Amino acid sequence: MSIVVLISGSGTNLQAILDAGIPIKFVMSDNHNAYGLERAEKRNIPTLSQPRLKSLEKSVTKLCKANNVDLIVLAGFMRLLTPGFVSKWKNKIINIHPSLLPAFKGAHAIKEAWEYGVKVTGVTVHYVNEQMDEGDIIAQKIVNITKKDTLETFEEKIHKVEHKLYPTIIKKLLNDQNTN
């Protein structure tokens, strides 16, 4: 029962997964400078960074096969995986996105929701398909934007929900795989 986590940046979701005690085999990144790599190293989890997407995907496949990995978890991984990779790992790759999909896809969902002036948005965990921020939805949580919010407080609310929701869903999926 284990996962690999793919990141591109700060890795606060990775941190929440680590803090929840979920066993992580590897943390991989397309960005050598991703701070999340340091978070993993602090916990003695092997890391690998590879900016070339195809090479990264090859390494992920090799390591997942060699280590019987159950789930590939995207946590702020900002690249679109290739169709070949996605079809190889159908229903084994999940992503978290800071909006109620299908609204506000892409890399700037929080800012775009704020600028649009929505009163209700949230967080989505979904299986990954070939499209950006698409695929069957596993879970969604609502976040309300109130008059008192600033972009900063709104962003904090979103991240707080993400950091609780993602580990919960990962644990559930791993449990379900174990009992099937």
Active site residues: 97
Check residue 30 for interaction with ligand GAR (CB under 6 A).
no
From the list 30, 57, 70, 162, which residue makes contact with ligand GAR (rule: CB under 6 A)? 162
Cα 169 vs. chain centroid, distance in angstroms? 11
Nearer to ligand GAR, 18 or 64 (CB): 18
| Cis status, amide bond into 83, omega within 30 of 0 | no
Report the nearest approach of ligand GAR to the CB of residue 109 (Å).
Answer: 5
Report the nearest approach of ligand GAR to the CB of residue 165 (Å).
Answer: 10
Nearest one of 73, 76, 71 to 158, comparing CA atoms: 76
**Number of residues in contact with ligand GAR, rule: CB under 6 A?**
16
Both structure tokens of 44: 């003695």
Nearer to ligand GAR, 156 or 177 (CB): 156
Which residue number is nearest to ligand GAR in terms of Cβ? 76
Cα–Cα distance, 147 to 28 (Å, whole number): 39
Query: Within positions 79 to 108, which residues make up the interface with ligand GAR, using CB under 6 A?
Result: 96-98, 107
Phi, psi of 52 (to 5 degrees): -80, 115
Report the nearest approach of ligand GAR to the CB of residue 179 (Å).
Answer: 28
Cα 151 vs. chain centroid, distance in angstroms? 22
Report the nearest approach of ligand GAR to the CB of residue 56 (Å).
Answer: 16
Helical (H) or strand (E) element with 94: strand 93-97
Check residue 137 for interaction with ligand GAR (CB under 6 A).
no
Check residue 135 for interaction with ligand GAR (CB under 6 A).
no
3-class DSSP state for residue 156?
Answer: helix
Check residue 170 for interaction with ligand GAR (CB under 6 A).
no
Exposed, middle or buried: residue 164 (CB in 10 Å: 0-12, 13-18, 19+)? middle
Residues in the site for ligand GAR, rule: CB under 6 A? 7, 9-13, 36, 75-76, 96-98, 107, 109, 133, 162
